Amino acid sequence: MKWSMDTHKYMSEITRTALSIIVEHNITVESEPEEIDVVERELVNAGVYKDYNSAKGRVRRALFTYFKAYGCLDDNEHLTELGRLFVERKITIKEFCFHYILNYQYEDEEVQYYPVRLILTCLKKLSERGANQAYLSAYDFSRIVECQSLDEVNDALIDELVNARVADPIAVNERTIGFDIWAKMLVQAGILKRTTERTLMIKDQVLADWILHTYENQLQVIRGTICTGVFKYLPTPPLNAPTGDATRFVLEGRALQAYLFDAVDNTLIYKYIFNGSDTTFDDMLSSLGLTEINKGFYKHFLGLERLMGYCLSVHDNPRIKIIGNILASVELTEAELTEVMSQEIRIDYDLFDRKDGGKNVLLYGVPGSGKSWTIEHEYCNEDNIVNRLVFHPDYTNADFVGQILPVVDSVDKQVTYEFTPGPFTTILCNAYRNPMSKYILIIEEINRGNAPAIFGEVFQLLDRKIEKLNDNDFPVGTSEYGITHKYMAEFVYGNSAHRIRIPSNLSIIGTMNTSDQNVFTLDTAFQRRWQMRLIENNFDNVHPSLADAKILDTDVTWKRFCETINTIIVGNKAKMASAEDKRLGVYFVHENDLAFDQRALPSEGNANLLTEYNSLLGAERLDTITEEQKTRLKEIREAVMDNRLFPEKVIKYLWDDAFKFNPEALFDTENMDNLEKVIRTFIYSIGHDRFKIFKQSVYDTLYAAQQQ
């Protein structure tokens, strides 16, 4: 492969361990075989190699070459500045990858260029062809590798790549072309991200644009040096006139990171992150010359805080140098060292002020009574962050809370098992980390799944605090009792021992159709943990455009029809248990279901639509149909399809469900003895005659009431 990353390796905690062992024993190419043998055995014990045979000879043949290529060792096997920071665990894997990959320059006897520049330029040009083209496949990468300069990443190449996507995918060996290693490094550096199709996309367009702009400078890269190449051109925050001695804040790296990278509110930084006892965070900003315009200045470099600090610490401006030293002063935690993707400052959000009043509400009523409408109009507003899901018979606790799933590493193909959070854990985490935002988890059709089993141990969290006993107590609406779940706790709190609680700024709202109680019954212990609310089935809040809409060409409004039929359903208690649960909901239909397609009226000379339709069908079968007849036949088919919406939804429900055991209570069963005839009669009749599917007393009630 052309862009060699040396022996198909990439930077990781294992490579950090290997370099640490070599440095600890002062091993160079001049070391005695016995000394190197000791190191190779220690590499096995540390898990760098699986056995002694695998490790034998690797220090001289592979590791020295590898660490020199990555700038950790110089030509004499001595640690470089970059190598020292890496061994001393002062930069993360993400920061190392970001530094190395941006400064990596390919060169041979004829050309030299920066591969990342070619890759990002190609992605930018692809994005100009449309958002759906803004990705890089292994085949695309194989074509970029063949380019000899930036000029060859031109419109002709982009045309070729886009056209190749229309045809069958072109298979390439990712390892042979180096795509696997480059993809791993680009993702670890936080520059690109993987898609589900294993292609690559730009993760942060602003960051990508800065990288491309920086490459336009005359870069000089000194291998193993921190502030070199692109890092000579890091953006620096504009400073106001500094006041006072800034060096006294040298250990406030976390606070400054939170301000410059995470844009955390000053009050929260001072209250929870700032360490000073005889000064304030605002004093620190004033001393450094930072103002509100600097907040979040480095937000697109999130996860690169230490690297930015080390680079800024050698800046010509002494005030920028102080800012760099403060940023670089942070001692990395184990989690930060092993976490490759974008990092965040570990903050105990339990101590934050938090919106309270979180609750569990269960809305129940007949199908179509307006439960979802009520949620949208009475419980949600534009400031709420809402997630919605639906329970069903196959939905499980693993789907809801999360589960351990196998993950195959794209490079070494090793299988590991990781916790993949479900929607409940995800929204709980988001609510916990954003205490002043209100979150709502909406669970539609909660009783269509086995809700107690789906909630599992989370069931205990539904008990909410109704009062705050003291200033140190959790806010009202927090779970009264915590539960132990190490995977959820690690995901939400970064601490597997932390007890899980639903935060007070997260509400859970469920909906339940009373007619579906026979699917999964919600036991009393489950229901008592919810505020139950019956959604009355009336037209009080229904928009007139629906309530007063006429059903096709019958002159009967939806409101009149619904109320008339529901009266009959309720009066049918003697023949049907829980009759009231079978009522038609006021939102059972949409306005479109009621609209009449005028093309369904029979053409002149035809007694009714069915006669005309059958005549045209006969001509079609005999192949004697004219073009004009074909057009008309198409119109009838489309019109009948439109006019079917109401009977197939409402009339079918009444026959199959509401009056399943005594259809004679509603329908004219002397003439309509099956659903097929009922639907057919309704569709091909005109106006009032459509409702002659019902017995005479119902028909008379509909029209007598309509005329009042």
pLDDT digits 0-9 by tens, 252-263 = 999 999 999 999
Topology alike, domains 106-214 and 354-534: no
Tokens 């886009």 locate to 162
- Provide the pLDDT for residue 611: 87
Q: Provide the 3-class DSSP secondary structure of residue 455.
A: helix
H or E stretch covering 365: strand 360-365
- Provide the pLDDT for residue 541: 80
* Whether the Cβ atoms of residue 260 and residue 297 lie closer than 8 Å to each other: yes
* pLDDT at position 180 over 60: yes
CA distance 360 to 464: 8
pLDDT tens per residue across span 589-627:
999 999 999 998 888 888 888 888 888 889 899 989 999
Q: How many residues does the chain have?
A: 708
Does the reported pTM lie above 0.75?
no
CA distance 647 to 588: 12
Handedness of CA 472, 478, 483, 486 (dihedral sign): negative
Give the list of residues 6+ apart from residue 507 with CB closer than 8 angstroms, or none.
357, 358, 359, 360, 361, 379, 438, 439, 440, 441, 477
For residue 624, what are its two tokens?
């004697």
Amino acid present at 107: E
Rounded percentage of the chain residues whose pLDDT exceeds 90: 45
Q: Provide the 3-class DSSP secondary structure of residue 106.
A: strand
Mean pLDDT of 385-407: 89
Mean pLDDT of 487-515: 88
Residue 411 DSSP label: T
* Whether the Cβ atoms of residue 153 and residue 144 lie closer than 8 Å to each other: yes
* Average pLDDT, rounded, for the chain: 87
Phi and psi angles of residue 198, each rounded to the nearest 5 degrees, phi first: 65, 20
- Provide the pLDDT for residue 516: 54
- Provide the pLDDT for residue 1: 45
* pLDDT at position 408 over 80: no
pLDDT tens per residue across span 140-160:
999 999 999 999 999 999 999
What angle is formed at CA 530 by the lines to CA 382 and CA 367, rounded to 5 degrees? 75
Task: Kindly tell me the burial class for residue 279, based on how many C-beta atoms sit within 10 Å of its own C-beta (0-12, 13-18, 19 or more).
Answer: middle
Distances (CA, A) of 398 to 454, 482, 487: 8, 19, 12
Give the list of residues 6+ apart from residue 353 with CB closer than 8 angstroms, or none.
435, 436
- Provide the pLDDT for residue 344: 40
Confirm or reject CATH 1.10.10 for domain 106-214, answering yes or no.
yes
What angle is formed at CA 422 by the lines to CA 421 and CA 423, rounded to 5 degrees? 125
Rounded percentage of the chain residues whose pLDDT exceeds 70: 93
Beta pairing class for 360-365 and 531-534 = parallel
- Provide the pLDDT for residue 7: 39
- Provide the pLDDT for residue 464: 92
Mean pLDDT of 531-551: 88
pLDDT category at 378 given cuts 50, 70, 90 is confident
Task: Kindly tell me the burial class for residue 172, based on how many C-beta atoms sit within 10 Å of its own C-beta (0-12, 13-18, 19 or more).
Answer: middle
- Provide the pLDDT for residue 707: 47
CA distance 298 to 289: 16
* pLDDT at position 192 over 90: yes
Cβ atoms within 10 Å of 201's Cβ, excluding its own: 15
For residue 115, what are its two tokens?
């591969």
- Provide the pLDDT for residue 520: 61
- Provide the pLDDT for residue 706: 47
CA 392 to chain centre: 21
* pLDDT at position 708 over 50: no
CA distance 338 to 405: 20
pLDDT category at 415 given cuts 50, 70, 90 is low
pLDDT category at 117 given cuts 50, 70, 90 is very high
Lowest-confidence pick of 175-189, 368-382, 555-569, 694-708: 694-708
* pLDDT at position 9 over 60: no
Cβ atoms within 10 Å of 169's Cβ, excluding its own: 11
pLDDT tens per residue across span 38-89:
999 999 898 888 888 888 888 887 888 888 888 999 988 899 999 999 999 9
Residue 498 DSSP label: S
Mean pLDDT of 702-708: 62
Residue 228 DSSP label: -
Lowest-confidence pick of 4-18, 101-115, 300-314, 377-391: 4-18
Cβ atoms within 10 Å of 292's Cβ, excluding its own: 9
For the chain, the 3-state helix, strand and coil shares in percent, each to the nearest 5, are 50, 10, 40
235-244 in b/e burial notation, b at 16+ Cβ within 10 A? ebbeeeebee
The ranges assigned to domains in the chain are 13-91, 106-214, 235-347, 354-534, 544-707
- Provide the pLDDT for residue 572: 75
Q: Which CATH superfamily is domain 354-534 in?
A: P-loop containing nucleotide triphosphate hydrolases (3.40.50.300)
CA distance 86 to 626: 82
Mean pLDDT of 206-222: 94
Mean pLDDT of 277-297: 91
Strand partners, 385: 439
pLDDT tens per residue across span 310-365:
999 999 999 999 999 999 998 887 767 765 443 344 456 777 788 898 999 999 88
* pLDDT at position 474 over 70: yes
